[in-house]
Amino acid sequence: MLNTRFITTLLAVAIIFVSGTHAAVFRRSSRATCPQVTTKPDFNYIPYAGLWYEIERFENVFQQGTSCERAIYEEISVGVVSVLNTAVLADGSLTNITGSATAISPDEPGHLIVSFPGRPDGDYLVLDTDYTNYASVYSCDVAGAFVLEYAWLLGREQTMTQEVMDVALSKFTQFGVDVSQFQLTTQGETCVYYPEYPFPPSVSK
Ligand SMILES: *[C@@H]1O[C@H](CO)[C@@H](O)[C@H](O)[C@H]1NC(C)=O
């Protein structure tokens, strides 16, 4: 849902210029290195496409103060899906970003590279998904002394049962990822979801 290499660059700059309190935004990880993770071995982006709601995330610089996040994926060519991320900003206005995600290797189908215009590419690692309830998505970068972890727990519905969430979280904990960093994303009645999905004929992607 974002671009980690860009953040790494941003962070390197931020470390130099930003004071302690502001730097807290970037939360220095307790870990010294990125964990060795494996992606879903038989990942198939076709059933993965469609609408996902962000249930929880590790806070990150791109999503500060935003809520009601959705990710909409649609196949645009073999091995490539379009990405539309929508959210509501702190002031209540709507925001979105469009890009694409590409499967880079048949040996690692759950490893996608996400591209947004004007930014360097970033990893998108599908640790696991059952396609119909949850997806456990992760990315990790090292920037100097900092380990930057990104994690998203996505659901097909605006809410997730504890049972499903426990399964989704276990996909992170099995690699030693500290899931206590997850923060619940506001979803539901207080949210405005735009555009509708499936897209009405008038909405361009
Ligand atoms: C994305 O945001 C732009 C700028 O606010 C808006 O013009 C556009 O309609 C939005 N796109 C979608 C698909 O919602």
Range of the domain at 105: 4-19+26-184
Give yes or no for residue 203 having a pLDDT over 70.
no
Is the CB of residue 96 below 6 angstroms from any atom belonging to ligand 1? yes
Closest CA to ligand 1's atom 5? 95
The answer to whether residue 203 is domain-embedded is no
Is the CB of residue 82 below 6 angstroms from any atom belonging to ligand 1? no
- Buried/exposed 70-84: b ≥16 CB within 10 Å, e otherwise: bbbbbeeeeebbbbb
Q: What is the CATH number of the domain that holds 43?
A: 2.40.128.20
Structure tokens at 84: 């539309």
DSSP secondary structure string, 142-174?
A: EETTEEEEEEEEEESSSS--HHHHHHHHHHHHT
The answer to whether residue 195 is domain-embedded is no
Give yes or no for residue 17 having a pLDDT over 50.
no
**CA distance readout (Å), 40 to 66, 181, 182, 183:** 28, 22, 21, 24
How far is residue 82's CA from residue 28's CA, in Å, rounded to a whole number? 32
Number of structural domains in the chain = 1
What confidence tier does 27 reach under pLDDT thresholds 50, 70, 90? low
The answer to whether residue 10 is domain-embedded is yes
Structure tokens at 38: 């494996």
CB-count exposure of residue 14 (10 Å: 0-12, 13-18, 19+): middle
**CA distance readout (Å), 154 to 2, 73, 97, 136, 164:** 14, 12, 17, 7, 11
Q: Which of 66, 82, 96 to mutate to test the pocket of ligand 1 (most atoms within 8 A of CB)?
A: 96
pTM over 0.75: yes
**CA 186 and chain centroid, separation:** 15
Lowest pLDDT segment from 6-10, 65-69, 112-116: 6-10
The answer to whether residue 163 is domain-embedded is yes
The answer to whether residue 130 is domain-embedded is yes
The answer to whether residue 69 is domain-embedded is yes
Query: How do residues 45-82 score in pLDDT, each as one tens digit?
Result: 999 999 999 999 999 888 889 999 999 999 999 999 99
Residue 101: other Cβ atoms inside 10 A: 24
Alpha helix segments (H runs only) across the chain: 4-17, 20-23, 45-48, 162-173
Is the CB of residue 195 below 6 angstroms from any atom belonging to ligand 1? yes
How far is residue 29's CA from residue 149's CA, in Å, rounded to a whole number? 8
The answer to whether residue 167 is domain-embedded is yes
**Closest C-alpha among 48, 11, 52, 21 to residue 149:** 11
Query: How do residues 123-180 score in pLDDT, each as one tens digit?
Result: 999 999 999 999 999 999 998 888 999 999 999 999 999 999 999 999 999 999 999 9
Give yes or no for residue 192 having a pLDDT over 90.
yes
